[in-house]
Amino acid sequence: MNDILTVTGLTRSFGHVVANDNISLRIPPGEVVGLLGHNGAGKTTLVSQLIGLLRPDEGTIRLGELDAVANPAAARRIVAVQAQSQAPLDGLTARAAIEIACRLRGLSTSQAKAATRTVAQELDIEAYLDRRALPEGGGLSGGIRRLTAFAMAAAAPTPLLVLDEPTNDVDAARRRLLWHAVRRRADEGAGVLLVTHNVTEAERIVDELVILDQGKVVASGSPVEIRGTRDSDLRLELQLPFTEADPTRNGSVEVTPPPFASRVRRGRNVILTLASVHAAQAVKWANALRSDEVIGGYSLAPSSLEDAYLAYTSANKDHNQFDEVEADV
């Protein structure tokens, strides 16, 4: 089966700033692909090109057999998008906004009403369907507006669903419902591009990941491939006091530090990834550091995708002067 989305060699500049630099990715039917990156990494510029709001300087975008660059209007008919910004709902009830979106997608009036009821139940927003959104955030909270925008994009089935930071402002309970809704649509055959900087939440539902940093793809693959560690690997985080040097840079105590696969410095925290067989040595070393007041404290936990993400995106330090990295990932 052909991929729903194929992006090849996509490049887009704004003056001297290269926002997207030779980006390639693919989304098969039934898969959720996460697009991860810091603010300013080029995620929203990429989405704008997918739906024809921007034209690439170079590269191709294909939606199935459709050339989306040559036919942006046709592309928009088969792509549903939840934008990063809040949808303009003022003056509408949530129900009316979702039904209008369904009608624009080709559903009949009765189908639009049924789809609206279904997605409202799915997201637990039935109680808000007939509340009217008012100017300056009145009528509906930011979280309910965000969920309404998701419902507008997802209520009517489309081959490709693009979600740009869909959980912003959404409470924890409904975030979980939203993630289930995203996964369900992929399981029913849609392709989903999930644009986010929330690595922890994205890991729960994505099949593949593409990490952007300063406009370039710096890593791609499954969460396990991106993480590059065994499931048994551990994360040792050291909290440094203001007055002390980094204990991983010098022999601060007599206890030998454990061997580690990667090291990320974020402000006053140092994050080390190590094999679980070295857990006892890590605890002994960290306790010695704390006893000698070299560190303020530490924590030891399973390694996560976020650790690998930090390693990849901290390699170019221009966006965060407080990050540094040494990693074998």
Q: Six-digit token pair at 209?
A: 């990941």
The pLDDT mean for the chain works out to: 86
Those residues whose C-beta lies under 8 Å from the C-beta of residue 88, and which sit 6 or more positions away, are none
Q: Mean per-residue pLDDT for 307-312?
A: 76
Q: Six-digit token pair at 256?
A: 């030998």
Contact of 159 with 78, CB cutoff 8 Å? yes
**Amino acid at the residue 62:** R
Task: Summarize pLDDT for 194-210 with one digit per residue, the tens.
Answer: 998 777 777 888 999 99
- Give dist(CA 130, CA 310) in Å, integer: 43
Question: From 1.10.260.40, 3.40.190.10, 3.40.50.300, 3.40.50.970, which CATH number describes the 5-226 domain?
Answer: 3.40.50.300
pLDDT category at 231 given cuts 50, 70, 90 is low
Task: Summarize pLDDT for 37-72 with one digit per residue, the tens.
Answer: 888 889 989 999 998 889 999 999 999 999 999 999
Q: What is the DSSP string of 84-109?
A: SSPP--TTSBHHHHHHHHHHHTT--H
Domain ranges of the chain: 5-226, 228-327
Q: What are phi and psi of 10, to 5 degrees?
A: -75, 125
**Amino acid at the residue 17:** V
Higher-pLDDT residue of 247 and 174 is: 174
Q: Mean per-residue pLDDT for 242-252?
A: 63
Distances (CA, A) of 284 to 9, 279, 289: 49, 9, 9
DSSP assignment letter at 240 = P
Residue 305 above 50 pLDDT? Answer: yes
